[in-house]
Amino acid sequence: MDKWDGKGLTNFYQRLLMLSFVLLLGACSSGEAELEGELLTTERRLSELTDALNIGSLRNAVTIKQYVGILRQREPKFAPLLAELEKEASLANPLYKSLQARFDAVRDNTENFDSWVEKVEELKLIQAASNVGAFNDALSDTVNVIADLSQGELPRVNSVSKEAELAMNKSKDYGAGSQYIGNPHYGRWSHSSGGSFWAFYGQYHFFSTMFGGRRNYYNDWSGGRGYSYYSDIGRNSYTSRSQKVGQRDVQQRAKKQFGSKGNFKSPYAKSRSGATGMSKASVAQQKSAFKSRYAKSGSTTSKYRSSTRNSGFRTSRGRSRGK
């Protein structure tokens, strides 16, 4: 075989570089096409959910309104809290608003993603959470919060009774509103020398004052928590990337503080029993609820910072898919 001269090698490398460029260009075009398709699918899924909330076709949304009406008459002292809980059956629902905001962040490029692949992953999670059947199931947490406020007079939905759930999971009774503990749409973990404790956001603070301001500490709750739709089925899809980083940070803090004593268990080390009558969409979510890449231990430094341009929640439909 004849040896290549310098000119031949130069031509070879030029052709190789051109081929690499063509392949890279093709990959980028394919990625952009997939991303565009997922954006359209997500927008359509959110539109379907918006319509369902607007016309009141979600069974658990109807139940929320019914339960609020019944309990408002029986327990007038709960009126301010019930007024807030009733919003869960509308577009003011914090889960719904979060899904819209997450979609906006991907569509408008107001959140940092390393690649189009990460954007597609986020969009697929939003699609799963926006499924009408799954979202109806997610509303069961609020229905059951109200049911627990009624001291058992109103039955839980999509879940076994409170007594059965406590027995099945050997969990502790954290009182009415316990389904919301750990859900970043309703509160946050505050830190103290005694460990992280749950602080409800202002409108839900009544759950804390009901029991004399009792603090529920993360280290205790992580091992004794009961079943909730959010924690045991929907956590992966109903939690934003930054919220997942926050959850991981709290867990790392607790592990560092209590792990050496051998009395710390991750709240998501295993699922709790108690779900009943779930949709196929929720069953599919349940299989991935404890496999979130953002729930794994690791660095506590978050790269998921949203731009200030996305500081508010937007819930309008028919928006331009701005570039």
pLDDT of residue 37: 93
pLDDT band at 91 (very low <50, low <70, confident <90, very high): very high
- Mean pLDDT is lowest, of 93-97, 123-127, 257-261, for 257-261
Q: What is the pLDDT of residues 44-80, one digit of tens each?
A: 999 999 999 999 999 999 999 999 999 999 999 999 9
Query: How many angstroms separate the first and last alpha carbons of the chain?
Result: 54
d(CA 93, CA 230): 14
pLDDT band at 229 (very low <50, low <70, confident <90, very high): very high
Question: Parallel, antiparallel, or unpaired for β 195-200 and 187-192?
Answer: antiparallel
Number of neighbours of residue 313 by Cβ within 10 angstroms = 15
Top-confidence residue, 220 or 317: 220
Percentage, residues of the chain above pLDDT 90: 68
The model's pTM: 0.82
Statement: residue 86 has pLDDT above 90: yes
Q: What is the pLDDT of residues 2-54, one digit of tens each?
A: 555 555 556 666 666 665 655 555 555 677 888 999 999 999 999 999 999 99
Top-confidence residue, 237 or 3: 237
pLDDT of residue 317: 35
pLDDT of residue 234: 96
Top-confidence residue, 305 or 67: 67
158-168 average pLDDT score? 96
227-239 average pLDDT score? 97
Q: What is the pLDDT of residues 267-293, one digit of tens each?
A: 998 899 999 999 999 999 887 766 644
pLDDT band at 139 (very low <50, low <70, confident <90, very high): very high
Give the domain ranges of the chain.
Answer: 40-153+184-300
Top-confidence residue, 161 or 5: 161
Statement: residue 194 has pLDDT above 80: yes
Top-confidence residue, 297 or 43: 43
Burial (0-12, 13-18, 19+ Cβ within 10 Å), 34: middle
Round the average pLDDT of the chain to a whole number and report it.
85
175-203 average pLDDT score? 94
pLDDT of residue 213: 72
Task: Give the CA angle between residues 276, 122, 104 to the nearest 5°.
Answer: 110
d(CA 227, CA 229): 7
Statement: residue 321 has pLDDT above 80: no
| One-letter-per-residue 3-state SS of the chain | CCCCCHHHHHHHHHHHHHHHHHHHHHHHHHHHHHHHHHHHHHHHHHHHHHHHHHHCCCHHHHHHHHHHHHHHHHCHHHHHHHHHHHHHHCCCCHHHHHHHHHHHHHHCCCECCCCHHHHHHHHHHHHHHHCHHHHHHHCHHHHHHHHHHCCCCCCCCCECCHHHHHHHHCCCCCCCCHHHCCCCCCEEEEEECCEEEEEECHHHCHHHHCCCCCCCEHHHHHHHCCCCHHHHHHCCCCCCHHHHHHHHHHHHHHHHHHHHHCCCCCCCCCCCCCECCCCHHHHHHHCCCCCCHHHCCCCCCCCCCECHHHCCCCCCCCCCCCC
